[in-house]
A and B are shown apart, each in its own frame.
Chain A
Amino acid sequence: DQQVKQNSPSLSVQEGRISILNCDYTNSMFDYFLWYKKYPAEGPTFLISISSIKDKNEDGRFTVFLNKSAKHLSLHIVPSQPGDSAVYFCAASPDAGGTSYGKLTFGQGTILTVHP
């Protein structure tokens, strides 16, 4: 049972355009969401996060949107750059008290390719 889903295995965009990466979740206990960027054989790099009390969070070229009623979040990258080409993972953390902290459930990832 995959609780966090990234339904698009890959996404290709032109440099300068917007990249939109999507993520859906099923567990209503999830209340904190994160996006990571990953290169092969390296650890994920934290990009941006959002708490369930917000519906939007921005950091430079990265914006994350959260729609709690739809159990959906998205990461927007504007403008996209060739260096953004990587695998992007969304992850979720539940609010189930202290024992839940530190456990992230990841989606399967989306390969983003930004063409010059």
Chain B
Amino acid sequence: KAGVTQTPRYLIKTRGQQVTLSCSPISGHRSVSWYQQTPGQGLQFLFEYFSETQRNKGNFPGRFSGRQFSNSRSEMNVSTLELGDSALYLCASSRGQQDTEAFFGQGTRLTVV
């Protein structure tokens, strides 16, 4: 059974640019959540999609957005990149029901210069 796949693994972007990250969940999982990990803030929840609908959202500015497709694959977009957006972006896949485990991908390391 394939795990959670995130692409690309590494990205370098310039301030002001935008970026799109991709996440393919485990087969049969309908929920995809996104997290940002930085040394200072730890792992912080960005948003969660379930059956193509954003079901939950963290405290991030509107520059961070996402979507989910009918096959449950999800994309996350960050517009007008800032230096502080440099982080490891992780997506997690789950059944999206009560008391179910979330499984993480390897992450995308974004560096903004």
Contacts and interface: CB of A to CB of B under 8 A. Distances in A.
Contacts of A32: 98-99
Contact of B31 (A41, A102, A105): A102
Contact of B94 (A95, A100, A102): A102
Interface residues of A, number: 28
A41 B88 contact: yes
Interface in B20-73: 31-33, 35, 42-45, 48, 50, 55-56, 58
Contacts of A45: 104
- Among B43, B45, B101, the one with the most A-chain Cβ atoms within 10 Å of its Cβ is B43
Nearest to B58: A103
Contact of A99 (B6, B33, B56): B56
- Among B6, B98, B100, the one with the most A-chain Cβ atoms within 10 Å of its Cβ is B98
A105 to B, nearest CB: 7
A34 interface: yes
B83 to A, nearest CB: 19
Contacts of B32: 102
Nearest to A96: B56
A74 to B, nearest CB: 19
A99 B45 contact: no
A44 interface: yes
A40 to B, nearest CB: 9
Interface string B82-112: 0000001010101011111111111101000
B76 interface: no
A106 B43 CA distance: 6
Given A89-B43, A102-B33, A43 B104 contact: yes
9 contacts: A44-B43, A44-B90, A45-B104, A101-B100, A104-B45, A106-B35, A106-B43, A107-B42, A108-B42
Interface of B: 4, 6, 31-33, 35, 42-45, 48, 50, 55-56, 58, 88, 90, 92, 94, 96-107, 109
Given A41-B107, A43-B6, A101-B55, 4 more contacts: A51-B99, A101-B31, A105-B45, A106-B42
